[in-house]
Amino acid sequence: MSKLKVTVMLSSLIMLMYACTKESDIRFSNQPTNSNTDTVYGSDPSKKNYDLTENFEYGIKAAYNSPPDTATLSTGIWTLTDALLNNSTSDAKDGSWSARIESTGTITTNFNINGLQTLYISSALFTGDAASAYTLQISTDSGQTFSTFGSAINVTTTTLHKDSFAVNSTVPVRIRIVKSSSGKRINIDDIEFKGTGNPGFSIDTSSGVTPPSNYDDDTTPRYVVVTANDVVQPLTGDNSNILLGNPSNADSTPSNTENHLFDQHYYIESYSMSQGKPNWTAWHLGNEDIGSAGRGNDFAGWAGLPSGWYQVRSNDYTSSGYDRGHNCPSADRTSTTDANDATFLMTNMMPQAANNNQGPWEHLEDTIRTYVSNGNEAYIYCGSYGNSKTIDNGHVTVPTNTWKVAVVISKGNSDISRISSTARLFVVDMPNTNNVVKNSSWKLYITTVANIEKATGYSFFTNITDENIRSALKTKNGDGN
């Protein structure tokens, strides 16, 4: 189905013509398009065709109303008011990321576009939200004033739809997309600019950074929730989170602020008040922990921190350049919504470089879950060490390294007695930088438990009483064999 709408706007400087067609089920490349060649009009620079797409795959805007409202994307600087960039499973997107607008929010170019002939905008509803709409506005005075261009575009499905606008401008313009008051949130992706001559901007990803994963703006702290239907690890015995030992002898003494033991039921952690992150986190993973609850993405501060402790909030990593990196992964706790929600507490997070978190680190998490889904269970410890810098006004320490230790055994009972020197062991120590190649193998970072102990001062497997087994595991290459 197509719609044709024409609006003629006359002034001494510009005549703008508008036509809109809506096409369903259109997918676009998730890589920037930059076609500015001589092939159509020959060598006259003023008659070159250009085709440039803003795909929102580069840049950071992590919260709706957290200043600054500007973000440097691949096409230039944009202003996002009541808008952010996100990659949750509820966001409609072509590729990994898209823009999300709530309320009557806007996204606006802070740069002029020359010779713009046709503009394409892809839009969809955020999953679960009611129908909404947006309007296009155009400025011919470098953003001082904007005028509505054509009629509102209705957004009614969660599948991206592409609308085209015949701008045919003879002067530089800026664009603004304005969400209507109806509905709660919409997604915008793949804004494509087609025109002639020098567009006045270009696609540049060299100074940008892939946005941190899964940001949200919920700053309301909450508690861990446990109900009768939740799968919760026991305090002691088989399947308990620290069955293999407490590597730093953490305890819950009120004065112990740097090695404080918190039992979050679904995992246990040693927490540092001054660093605003866990020293380490431990959890048991069985196939009963992997279900269909899905990823909640509901980051929040933890309301259970002792009085007087700084509470890291869900948006405190905003514009830091780091992911809110899970210690206990979301995908390891999908048995119920309560279990998954517990993994999104900020006390389970560490500032993690995107290439680390979304690359080999994630690949190792997937590998361990695959073993567990095939008749095994795992006892996992994870943490970070070192101090490269701080974020959140000094409240959160960015570690130099992230590490993980996982012992995988066949599913059964009397687990301690079944762990031998030949148990399957995964051990990695990864630099927490974006120098890590995102698609590289976790096996590049294999090490031994003994090396992790040397770097952290911890002592692992203290509950394995057989000294020979304990020693063999600590010196064994953690390659998963």
| Known catalytic residue at 326 | yes
User: Exposed, middle or buried: residue 145 (CB in 10 Å: 0-12, 13-18, 19+)?
Assistant: exposed
Three-state SS at 365 = helix
Contact 232, 82 (CB under 8 A): no
Q: What distance in Å separates the CA atoms of residue 251 and residue 154, rounded to the nearest whole number?
A: 56
Residues forming a β-bridge with 187: 100, 124
Catalytic residue, chosen from 161, 265, 326, 363, is 326
Q: What Å distances lie between residue 372 and 23, 164, 407, CA to CA?
A: 44, 48, 11
* Rounded Cα distance, 156 and 132, in Å: 7
Residue 225 three-state SS:
coil
Structural tokens at position 78: 């944009």
Cα→Cα distances 134→25, 137, 147, 154, Å: 19, 10, 14, 7
Element (H, E) at 397: strand 396-398
Structure tokens at 480: 């998963």
Q: How many CA atoms lie within 13 A of 233 on its CB side?
A: 28
Contact between 398 and 450 (Cβ < 8 Å): no
State the catalytic residues: 326
